[in-house]
Amino acid sequence: MNAAEQLARGIAALGLDLSAPQQDMLLAYARLLAKWNRVYNLTAVRDEDQMITHHLLDSLAVAPHLGDCTSLADIGSGGGLPGVPLAIARPQMRVALVESNHKKSSFLQQARIELALANVTVHCERAEAFQPATQFAVVISRAFSDLPDFVRAAGHLLAPGGRLLAMKGVYPYEEIAQLLSGWTVTRVIPLAVPGLEAARHLVCLERKNDNE
């Protein structure tokens, strides 16, 4: 099974409806990531086939849980995960990739240009310092930090009624116990990533109401 078939099967297993051009764009992104990875060490995954499961499908597994989200910020985006795959899957959604490492943000700019991602902006700065003109409906992180640090770094980017989404491996019991006051975990969703035999969870956080 080649990469295109592997991706198509995974997308179908996730229940997503992505066009052939979208799937081609995802594969082009994986090739670009692999190319730059040889010089800039963007990801520990070196094998392009593994990138389909460990990166593309792992990121796309979040898409069914975004609801009608119109704007998303990917904090500590690294090589663009999950932000780039989600931007390809949701071309009408405004996506900000926030990455403080200059080499990684240079790659993100190049990916944005080469893939013609009109809905994507790249911001080379720390999440704490990022002050966008408009806040986001969803702020997401993938292996960025523990939950308390994520809230501290990115809570100010969230629009009223918005959600913080943290992509995790095993169920983060200790991190949830250490969560700052003013925030609550609304759901922890187990994610089944096609072809990936590893635990994945999506932690959904929201600000507590004043009367809670």
pLDDT in tens, 49-108: 777 888 899 999 999 999 999 999 999 999 999 999 999 999 999 999 999 999 999 999
pLDDT of 51: 79
Dist. CA 152–CA 164, nearest whole Å: 11
| pLDDT category of residue 190 using cuts at 50, 70 and 90 | very high
- CB distance 118 to 94 below 8 Å: no
Q: Is CATH 3.30.1180.20 what the domain over 3-207 is classified as, yes or no?
A: no
pLDDT of 210: 47
Domain boundaries of the chain, sorted by first residue: 3-207
Cis ω before 132 (30° cut-off from 0):
no
Does the pLDDT at position 211 exceed 70?
no
Among residues 18, 97, 98, 113, the alpha carbon closest in space to that of 60 is found at 18
| pLDDT category of residue 181 using cuts at 50, 70 and 90 | confident
Q: Name the amino acid, one letter, at 145.
A: S
Q: What is the Rg, in whole angstroms, of the alpha carbon atoms belonging to the chain?
A: 16
Q: Which residue has the tokens 């609801």?
A: 67
Quick: pLDDT tens for 196-206: 888 999 999 99
Distance of CA 183 to the CA centre of its chain: 21
Share of the chain above pLDDT 90, in %: 81
Dist. CA 47–CA 183, nearest whole Å: 39
Q: Name the amino acid, one letter, at 87.
A: A
Other beta carbons less than 10 A from residue 176's beta carbon: 18
Helix 20-40 vs helix 102-114: crossing angle, to nearest 10: 150
Tokens describing residue 104: 């990684």
Tokens describing residue 205: 């956080």
Dist. CA 125–CA 102, nearest whole Å: 9
pTM: 0.94
| 197 CB burial (10 A radius; 0-12, 13-18, 19+) | exposed
Dist. CA 94–CA 91, nearest whole Å: 8
Dist. CA 211–CA 175, nearest whole Å: 24
Does the pLDDT at position 44 exceed 80?
no
